[in-house]
Structure 1
Amino acid sequence: MSEAVSEASAVEESLQAFIQTLRDSEIYQQFVDASEQLEADDEAQSLLKAYQQKQQQLQGNEFDSSVMSDLQKLQTELSNNETIQQHRAAQEELVALLEQTNDVISKQIRREFAQSLGGGCC
């Protein structure tokens, strides 16, 4: 039993070291900074909220071309908003880093480490 506890402790210690290394990484810090900027940007928040409301409106009703048109206009505005684009770029870089990490772990253990089993909404 003590061998299993020792092994679990070693894994936990390594995990905590990995987490700290991730938190200290430039990619993660850029994501955190971009997230904070996004939260503080009233215009970007307003655009995101309006976009979500239009999406819900479109899903809740039968097809409405005016709602679809509004949604497309909002999509363009989202694409042109610098704060939103910086956040998306930072998020994509962080996801790429985590995918690379997953690939390395999977290769080392010779099994798919983090695989989706479905069931999510997105």
Structure 2
Amino acid sequence: MSETVSKEPAVEESLQAFIEALRDSATYQQFVDASERLEADEDAQSLLEAYQQKQQELQADEFDSSVMSELQELQTEVSNNDTIQQHRAAQEELVALLEQTNDVISEQIRQEFAQSLGGGCC
């Protein structure tokens, strides 16, 4: 994180400490490792690409049972791929950690911390 987020040095310092603690956490490291394995696994990448293409094909055309059947077969293959499943599990654990962090911050400041306020100005 190269940009200054806050003009308050104490907030910036605490934020940097939090980022370092997150990067050093086992949960984050497992996610990074799983991401690297997924990126390096050509079979898993091809499978995910085929699945996404089939999803787009199904969305672009009228309902076609053969495309739906192919999509279901690909979904089964995705579900049975260890590399993909390990990545998903690591991602879910990281998201859970970040949600817990959000909950603690929200409780401490007595407001929803990471709250989406919706669309833009127009």
**Superposed displacement of residue 116, structure 1:** 2.6
Q: 2 CA distance for matches of 1:117 and 1:109?
A: 18
Q: 1 CA distance for matches of 2:115 and 2:81?
A: 33
SS at match of 1:68: helix
- Does residue 25 of structure 2 align to residue 47 of structure 1? no
**Superposed displacement of residue 118, structure 1:** 4.1
Q: Which residue of the partner structure matches residue 94 of structure 1? A: 94
Q: Normalization by structure 1: what TM-score?
A: 0.90
Q: 1 CA distance for matches of 2:16 and 2:116?
A: 23
Q: 2 CA distance for matches of 1:115 and 1:33?
A: 29
User: Which structure 1 residue ranges, 5 or more long, are not aligned?
Assistant: none
- Does residue 12 of structure 2 align to residue 12 of structure 1? yes
More helix by share: 1
User: Which structure 2 residue ranges, 5 or more long, are not aligned?
Assistant: 1-5
Q: Which residue of the partner structure matches residue 36 of structure 1? A: 36
- Equivalent positions of 1:50-61 (< 5 A) are 50-61=50-61
Q: 1 CA distance for matches of 2:82 and 2:118?
A: 33
Q: 1 CA distance for matches of 2:32 and 2:95?
A: 13
SS at match of 1:76: helix
Instruction: Count the aligned residue pairs.
Output: 114
Moved over 3 A (4+): none
SS at match of 2:113: coil
Can you list the C-alpha shifts for 1:34-84, whole angstroms capped at 9, x where unaligned? Answer: 000000000100000000000110111111111100000000000000000
Q: 1 CA distance for matches of 2:29 and 2:38?
A: 14
Q: 2 CA distance for matches of 1:44 and 1:17?
A: 35
Q: 1 CA distance for matches of 2:43 and 2:87?
A: 14
SS at match of 1:19: helix
Q: Which residue of the partner structure matches residue 117 of structure 2? A: 117
**Superposed displacement of residue 117, structure 1:** 3.0
SS at match of 1:20: helix
Seen in structure 2, the aligned counterparts of structure 1 residues 80 and 102 have a Cα distance that, compared at 3 Å, is same
